[in-house]
């Protein structure tokens, strides 16, 4: 990952100094990285002695982040025009207002600073830090925190390590170019973060229903593209039976990608009668972010997602066709 330049840090510092209050928002259906970045940004605002409100449309489905849900609200507090003029919007772990989801209130027109690490981000400018080489947005926020405040408290180190651990699959996804990420992790451990405790926080506490749903997804899985692609799906009836909270998609992807000959995994969930969410994962060379982008989504080379209008039975053949072009 790239280290922040002096100009990027100065740009962020100037943004923090030029506003009296802040709204800090992350993408809908947040994960640990998103939550970690939002909370850590609020600590930076507190260092400047400026009020901040955490926004997220939710839902907080993941077991490991459910305890953080009360820190966030899904509506913009009322502000007069003079108050809006001095309020800054900080968007983390995504780069488009549309990715924030259904937040009640008007965010358009607010002076905005974006911190993101997704390959498909399309924005740039002095109010933007996007580094697709960073394995987690928390890596970027950590640099801003350290440049602003210094070494984090044990509590803040825990929060930042939680974000880093989430998006790196607890370092399983890192490669030979990841020395800076490991150095960042080491600084957090020195500051008081407990890797074993955080690993248990991320991975433990799954409900029995999630184990049963995982078994169903594995049983339903099919192989395509000469066995290189594995596809599985979840119906609306499955969701009614097993619930929405505490999903363990990481275990599903890990199990399928560990299969000999498999290079990519596609998971489709029928959210409503007319809309699906898709998860794309790959082992190495297959760039699933490019495939996700064809369906209005995006993300990382080896981990991406999309929300797509349609039904499983019609979307599966279309997405498999795109995978066939590269596999």
Q: Could you give the dihedral angle defined by the CA atoms of residues 143, 148, 153 and 156, in that order, rounded to the nearest 10 degrees?
A: -50
The pLDDT of 185-200, averaged and rounded, is 97
Burial of 320 (0-12, 13-18, 19+ CB in 10 A): middle
Whether the CB-CB separation of 111 and 130 falls below 8 Å is answered with no
The pLDDT of 198-217, averaged and rounded, is 92
What is the model's pLDDT at position 310?
97
Of residues 199 and 119, more confidently modeled: 199
What is the model's pLDDT at position 76?
97
For the chain, percent of residues with pLDDT exceeding 70:
97
Provide the mean pLDDT of the chain: 94
pLDDT tens column, 157-175: 999 999 999 999 999 889 8
pLDDT tens column, 23-74: 999 999 999 999 999 999 999 999 999 999 999 999 998 889 999 999 999 9
What is the model's pLDDT at position 119?
66
pLDDT tens column, 97-140: 888 999 999 998 999 999 999 866 555 555 999 999 999 999 99
- Read off the tokens for 234: 């979840």
What is the model's pLDDT at position 248?
76
What is the model's pLDDT at position 298?
85
What is the model's pLDDT at position 284?
86
Question: pLDDT band at residue 255, thresholds of 50, 70 and 90?
Answer: very high
pLDDT tens column, 133-153: 999 999 999 999 999 999 999
Say whether pLDDT at 299 is over 90.
no
The per-residue b/e assignment along 38-57, b for 16 or more CB within 10 angstroms, e otherwise, is: bbbbbbbbeebebebbbbbb
What is the model's pLDDT at position 250?
84
What is the model's pLDDT at position 206?
85
Burial of 67 (0-12, 13-18, 19+ CB in 10 A): exposed
Say whether pLDDT at 320 is over 90.
yes
pLDDT tens column, 214-236: 999 999 999 999 999 999 999 99
Integer angstrom CA distances of residue 280 from 128, 223, 256: 26, 14, 12
Question: pLDDT band at residue 249, thresholds of 50, 70 and 90?
Answer: confident
Contacts of 85 (CB under 8 A, 6+ apart): none
What is the model's pLDDT at position 246?
62
**Predicted TM-score of the model (pTM):** 0.84
What is the model's pLDDT at position 107?
93
């Amino acid at each position: 990952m790239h280290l922040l330049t002096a100009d990027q840090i100065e740009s962020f510092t100037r943004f923090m100094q030029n506003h009296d209050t802040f709204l800090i928002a992350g993408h809908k259906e947040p994960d640990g990285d998103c939550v970690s970045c939002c909370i850590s940004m609020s600590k930076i605002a507190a260092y400047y002695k400026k009020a901040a409100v955490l926004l997220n449309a939710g839902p907080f489905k993941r077991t490991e982040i459910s305890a953080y849900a009360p820190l966030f609200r899904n509506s913009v507090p009322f502000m007069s025009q003079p108050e809006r003029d001095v309020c800054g919007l900080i968007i983390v772990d995504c780069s488009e207002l549309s990715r924030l989801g259904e937040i009640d209130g008007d965010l358009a027109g607010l002076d905005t600073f974006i911190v993101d690490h997704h390959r498909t981000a399309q924005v740039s400018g002095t109010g933007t830090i996007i580094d697709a080489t960073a394995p987690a947005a928390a890596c970027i926020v950590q640099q801003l925190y350290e440049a602003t405040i210094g070494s984090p408290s044990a509590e803040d180190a825990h929060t930042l390590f939680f974000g880093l651990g989430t998006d790196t699959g607890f370092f399983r996804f890192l490669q030979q170019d990841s020395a800076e990420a490991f150095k960042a992790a080491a600084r957090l451990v020195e500051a008081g973060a407990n890797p074993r405790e955080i690993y248990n926080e991320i991975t433990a506490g799954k409900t029995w229903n999630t184990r049963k749903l995982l078994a169903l997804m594995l049983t339903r899985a099919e192989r395509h593209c000469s066995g290189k692609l594995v596809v599985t799906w979840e119906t609306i009836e499955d969701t009614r039976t097993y619930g929405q909270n505490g999903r363990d998609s990481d275990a599903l992807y890990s199990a399928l990608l560990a299969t000999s000959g498999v290079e990519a995994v596609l998971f489709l969930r029928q959210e409503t009668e007319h809309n699906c969410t898709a998860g794309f994962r790959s082992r190495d060379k297959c760039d699933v972010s490019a495939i996700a982008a064809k369906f209005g989504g995006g993300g990382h080379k080896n981990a991406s997602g999309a929300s797509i209008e349609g039904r499983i039975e019609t979307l599966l053949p279309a997405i498999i066709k795109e995978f066939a072009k590269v596999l």
